[in-house]
Structures are given as C-alpha cells and as structure tokens.
Amino acid sequence: METAEAGAQAQDAMMQEVEVHLRIKRFDPDVDKRPHWEEYFVKLKPSDTVLTALHTVKWTIDGTLSFRRSCAHGVCGSDAMMINGVNRLGCVNLISDVGTSLVIEPVRGLPVIKDLVVDMEPFFAQYRSVMPYLINADDPGYTERRQSPEDRARFDDTTKCILCGACSTSCPVYWANDQYVGPAAIVNAHRFIFDSRDQARAERLEIMNQKSGVWRCRTAFNCTDACPRGIKVTEAIEEVKRAILYDRS
C-alpha cells in the first residue's frame, strides 16, 4: 500500500499545473530577414509534452507559430526539433523530463523555411540515394520467402527508423558537409545490407564506401543520443564500415 500511496502522490504532482517559459526561435520569410526569439508563458501539467506546449502557444496566444506534427506519440517522425540544445521529438518529451524553461529551435543542417519547419527535401534525397528498398531478382513464387528468426533479428534495430531526421541533423559532420548522406540514410542502407533476403549488398556497400558515405562519420554519437526510437545509430554505421572492410561479398 505504501508504494501505491507514493505512486498516487507522484501522480497528483504530475497533475499540478506549472508555468512553463518558452523561448522559440522564429522566422517568417514573408517579413523577416533573419531569425529572432519570441518568449511565451503557458500553464501546463508536468505530464504534458513539449508538443502540447507548442500547441498551447499556437492555439491560445499566437496562431502564426508554425511547426509540423501529426501522430503526437513518436511514430510519425514529424516533430523533430532542438529542445534545450539537443534534438528531440516534441511529442515524446514531457515537461517533467525537460523542465519548465524551454529553448526551442529548428533542427540544424537543413534550410529553415518558417519557424520550426525546415526543408526536408535534401534529407529525403539522401535517403533515396542508398536504394532503400529490397532488391531480389529470384521469383519467390506464390509464397513467402523464408527467413530465420536469427536472420530477422540481424537488422531489427534499423527497421525502427521513422525518418524524423533527428540523427542526421544532430551530426556535426552533416552540418558542415552537404555531401555526407548522414546517419539516417546509413541506417536505412544498413536495414537492407543486413537483410538476408536482399541481393544488392555489394552495390549498397559501394555507395556507402564513396566519399559521401560512412567514412565521413567521426563517431560523435550525437545521432545515437538523438534517436527517439532508441536505434544504436553509431553502431549501425560501424557495422557498415566493418562490412566494407572485411565482408564485401
């Protein structure tokens, strides 16, 4: 019972409204020459998300604030942003996690279009460049291909990617070098390179071996820290590097 009471008290605390101070980097191409900061104060529960904080600003204070969002629970990948200096999804970080003083900026490394909305086209072009689809010329007939649970597990981690861009836009190399395909594209190459059903391993490894590929990675681990899906991004990049060096068949 004691733990139940303590739990109830903790839950009560999560329901008490607190004042949240947001500093948001704003930019409207129709009127602004350069970005500027705006401040807002909103009342929220500690269990509310950063996305709820942004919605509260947009819906009750300033409707001109623009940010992408859709599912609001971390599976669609729309709302990657920089929260207090690190890349996070707004919808999976609670006020109780990030605090009541928030600095919110668009992610880096992609052109800002308006407020928190960045141009995702370069990101998706990098994704497309790694041939992100299963290639297998054999006719499997009218039944499924077999794949052992062990083979299936080999690439499970990188199937979780939601293409939010948090990893790539946290990477110092990606910020500085617009040739680098970035961690997200490598994650999606990894997903096929290590799929036992795929037959284009050599081609993908060749793409990864180019100067835009894995060798740009300086193992800063920012990507792994930023990934909202918990993918071991740096490890995936290292696995691709090792495959290029030792296992290109």
Partner 1 sequence: MVRENPCKTGAVNIHYHSYDAVIVGAGGAGMRAAIETAGKMRTAVITKLYPTRSHTGAAQGGMCAALSNVEEDYWEWHAFDTVKGSDYLGDQDAIDVMCREAIDAVVDLEHFGLPFSRTPDGKIDQRRFGGHTRNHGEAPVRRACYAADRTGHMILQTLYQRCVASGVNFFNEFQVFDVLFEGEGEDRRAAGVVAYEMATGDLHVFASKGVLFATGGFGRIFQISSNAHTLTGDGPALLFARGIPLEDMEFYQFHPTGIYGIGILLTEGARGEGGILRNGLGERFMERVAPTVKDLAPRDMVSRAIHAEIREGRGAGPNKDYVYLDLTHLPPEQIDAKLPDISGFVRTYLGLEPKTDPIPIQPTAHYAMGGIPTNVNGEVVIDSAGTVLPGLYAAGECACVSVHGANRLGTNSLLDINVFGRRGGRRMAEYVAGVDHPSVGKEAAGDVRDRIEQIKASNGKEKVAALRAELQQAMMRDASVVRTAESLENASRVLAELRERYRDISIDDKGSVFNFDLTEAIELGSLLDLAGTLLAGAMARNESRGAHWRDDYPVRDDANWMKHTLAYREPDGTVRLEYKPVVGGRYQPMERKY
The one among 26, 50, 74, 234 contacting partner 1 by CB under 8 A: 74
Give residues 146-175 in contact with partner 1 (rule: CB under 8 A): 146-149, 151-152, 155-156, 159-163
Residues 206-235 that bind partner 1 (CB under 8 A): 230
CA dihedral (183, 188, 194, 198) positive or negative: negative
Minimum CB distance to partner 1 smaller for 220 or for 225: 225
What is the number of helices (H) and of strands (E) in the chain? 11, 7
90, 67 contact by CB (below 8 A): yes
Task: Give the number of other Cβ atoms within 10 Å of residue 230's Cβ.
Answer: 9
Residue 57 engages partner 1 in binding (rule: CB under 8 A): no
Residue choice 99, 101, 111, 134 for contact with partner 1 (CB under 8 A): 134
Q: Total residues at the site for partner 1 (CB under 8 A)?
A: 64
Nearest residue (CB) to partner 1, 93 versus 217: 93
| Binding residue for partner 1, selected from 18, 21, 25, 28, defined by CB under 8 A | 28
Q: Is 232 exposed, middle or buried (0-12, 13-18, 19+ CB in 10 A)?
A: middle
Among 25, 38, 94, 122, binds partner 1 (CB under 8 A): 94
Distance between CA atoms of 231 and 167, rounded to whole angstroms?
A: 10
Residue 43 φ then ψ, to 5°: -95, 125
**Residue 247 CB partners (closer than 8 Å, separation 6+):** none
Q: Which residues bind partner 1 (CB under 8 A)?
A: 8, 10, 14, 28-31, 47, 58-60, 62-64, 66-78, 92, 94, 113-115, 117, 120, 124, 127-128, 131-134, 140, 142-149, 151-152, 155-156, 159-163, 192, 195, 197-198, 230
